[in-house]
Structure formats: C-alpha cells, structure tokens
C-alpha cells in the first residue's frame, strides 16, 4: 500500500495570499524523505482508532455516490481522506471499489493507512493538497474516476491536538498548519504581515467586523512582545473587544478562522481543486462536497452552478449540443444534517452538502 509523496514541483510553487513563496525554507526535508516513515512524524497523543469521530453525513454520502461506485472497476477519490472514516465505509460497502485517498496531513494519512489495512490491495494514499488531484491521478495512471468526495475544513483530530494551535480555547503554539511540513505558520503571519494585510485577511477570511481594530492592536502589541502562543493573541483581541460583542460569542473565533485559512491557503486551494476534480469525473460520475463555513460553500455553489447551466446565448430558439450543461445538480441548494445527527455528532451542525453528476464532456 504505502503513501505516495506529493509532487515536489507543486510544493515549490506554493504561495501565500500575497504572492510570496512560502516554501523557500531550506531546513525543510525533501518530500521523498518526509513521507517514507509517517509514524515517526505523529505526535505522542495521536488518537486510537477506537476514538476516531463518526464521519459526517456518512449514509447520505453513500446514498449519493453509491449508484456510481457499485459498478465494476469503479474508482473513488476521497480528496480529504482525514482518518479514513468515509473511506472505510465506502470500501466496506462496495467490494469492487478502488479508493484514492488524498491528504496534506501526514499524521492523518498514517492513521488512515492503519485503519484501511484490510483493504490494502484496493487503496492508494497520496500526500498532497487536494488541488493536486489531477497530478495524483496521473501518477497512478488514472485518467478519470466515478466518484469524488470532499469533506472540507479542519478535522476533529487537528482540533484535538492542542499543540497544533487551531483552538482559541486552549493555549498552544501559534502553528495552525494542516501539513506540518509547510513553513508558513500563524506565528509567522502575526510577526510579518502589515496592519493592512492582517486587516484584509480578517475581513475576507473571517468576515470579522472588527478586523481593523484587531489588526491595529496586534501590530502595536508585537512591538513589545512577539506572538508565539495562542493565549497571547486571545488576550490582545479580548482587551479591544467591546463587552457587548463578547456576549455574542468568543471574540477570537473569526480571527483564528482567518489565520487558519491563510496558513493553509484553504480558499485558494479550493478554487483550484473543484474545477480539477470536476475535470476528473467521468461521464455519469458524481462529486459530493461537504463544507462547514460559508466561504467554502460559496465557492462550491458558484462552480456547480456554472457547470450545470447552459452556455447558450439568450434568445437562441434551439439549444445547440455544445451549449448544454456539463453537469446536473443532484440536490437543489445545500442539504444540512438532521437534528438527530447533529445531536449525535456535533461536528455536523454547520455542514452544507452539495452534489452534482457529469452529463457530458465539453466538445
């Protein structure tokens, strides 16, 4: 089975939202070194397989993808493999299925590899960000697939590993990397970005109304002491947040979301990943996405809508074949989890599921 490394050429091209190359750290190991022993990279508090969370909207995902996976030679790409919960269920349900699992997190890949050992002859695991889907498939000699699944956002395992700094409720180093081999951290952003740049990412990625106030406070505070721990950041944000606003929720929530998105380039990656994934879907194949915040869901919604709309100019009496939609939507709008599932699995509270099926290839 094993885990394939991501393409070094793609790593070298990774940039932050300001266009700066963030992979120019000469202390990083080459990919062929850092992916040969995934267990060595895992932290001591890695969760046991018995403690792994329940996958969100699992049965609905199987219901939507099932008709195309229950066929001879079917291939599913789990573009956000995580700890392999969805993948395990799909492989169990469809004995003829081959799975390609992608993830940027080496810890998650190691856990998934262990979890999916019973299916070792039907899986290919690749260490890559999900916008590398076409490169990953090409490396495996696969030209098209029958199904693709995206379960977006930060995973439960990443939130639970305190030392990774994703949570504003626990003091930890300001890291926030989904891929521990990437050089850009939240600490670096808080140290290097200008006040204007911080304000922009808080506004765009956190939809934070007090973005300007928080950016100014951070720049002033770092002149005295550099930000290295999450508690420092929470303290500075809280001090400049009106009490009335604090009553509406934790004041650092949106800032932490914005920093995480910037560190991992989540929206830029998704903008590239969805078109690439749709290109990989065979005629009759399906793509299912689950998003947990509005910024990601808007990207998916926009791209699915464009692909499922006729390109014929208004006023034409007959729609020519080349103008017909490439995809059709399997559900209208976005589906949410049931109240029962939300009660059992709190992570499902904010999920928005969308699905589409390819009708034809562009001529």
**Domains of the chain as residue ranges with CATH:** 3-157+266-358 (3.40.50.150), 162-264 (1.10.150.170)
Residues 98-148: pLDDT tens digits? 999 999 999 999 999 999 999 999 999 999 999 999 999 999 999 999 999
Q: Give 159's contacts (C-beta < 8 A, 6+ positions apart).
A: 166, 167
Mapped onto helix, strand or coil, the DSSP state of residue 312 is coil
Half-sphere exposure of 111 (CA within 13 A, CB side): 27
Using alpha carbons only, give the angle 8, 14, 18 rounded to the nearest 5 degrees: 165
Segment holding 58, helix H or strand E: helix 58-69
Q: What is the pLDDT of residue 43?
A: 42
What's the pLDDT at 180?
A: 87
The pLDDT of residue 7 is: 56
pTM equals 0.85
SS3 call for 232: helix
Q: What pLDDT is stored for residue 51 in this prediction?
A: 54
User: What is the rounded CA–CA span in Å between residue 278 and residue 73?
Assistant: 19
Q: Looking at residue 327, what is its pLDDT?
A: 98
Cβ atoms of 53 and 345 within 8 Å: the answer is yes
Q: Which residues of the chain have pLDDT under 70?
A: 1, 6-53
145 has which bridge partners?
A: 281
**Rg from Cα positions in the chain:** 21
Separation of alpha carbons 183 and 179, rounded Å: 9
């Amino acid at each position: 089975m094993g885990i394939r490394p991501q393409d070094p050429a793609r790593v070298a091209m990774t940039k932050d939202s300001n266009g700066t190359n963030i992979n120019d750290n000469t202390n990083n190991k080459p990919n062929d070194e850092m992916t040969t022993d995934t267990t060595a990279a895992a932290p001591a508090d890695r969760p046991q397989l018995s403690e792994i969370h329940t996958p969100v909207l699992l049965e609905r995902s199987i219901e939507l993808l099932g008709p195309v996976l229950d066929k001879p030679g079917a291939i599913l790409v789990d573009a956000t493999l995580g700890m392999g919960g969805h993948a395990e269920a799909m492989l169990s349900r469809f004995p003829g299925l081959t799975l390609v699992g992608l993830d940027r997190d080496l810890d998650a890949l190691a856990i998934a590899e262990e979890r999916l050992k019973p299916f070792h002859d039907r899986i290919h695991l690749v260490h890559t960000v999900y916008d590398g889907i076409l490169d990953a498939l090409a490396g495996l000699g696969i030209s098209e697939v029958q199904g693709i699944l995206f379960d977006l956002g930060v995973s439960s395992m990443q939130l639970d590993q305190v030392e990774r700094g994703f949570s504003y409720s626990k003091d930890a180093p300001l890291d926030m990397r989904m891929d521990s081999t990437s050089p850009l951290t939240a600490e670096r952003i808080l140290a290097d970005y200008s006040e204007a740049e911080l304000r922009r990412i808080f506004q765009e990625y956190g939809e934070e109304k007090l973005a300007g106030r928080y950016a100014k406070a951070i720049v002033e505070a770092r002149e005295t002491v550099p930000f290295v721990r999450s508690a420092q950041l929470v303290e500075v944000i809280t001090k400049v947040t009106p009490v009335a606003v604090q009553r509406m929720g934790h004041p650092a929530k949106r800032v932490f979301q914005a920093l995480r998105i910037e560190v991992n380039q989540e929206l830029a990656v998704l903008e590239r990943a969805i078109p690439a994934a749709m290109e990989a879907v065979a005629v009759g194949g399906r793509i299912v996405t689950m998003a947990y915040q509005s910024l990601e869901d808007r990207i998916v919604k926009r791209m699915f809508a464009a692909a499922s709309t006729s390109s014929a100019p208004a006023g034409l009496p007959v729609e020519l074949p080349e103008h017909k939609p490439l995809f059709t939507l399997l559900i209208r709008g976005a589906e949410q989890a049931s109240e029962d599932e939300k009660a059992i699995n709190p992570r499902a509270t904010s999920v928005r599921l969308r699905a589409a099926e390819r009708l034809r290839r562009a001529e």
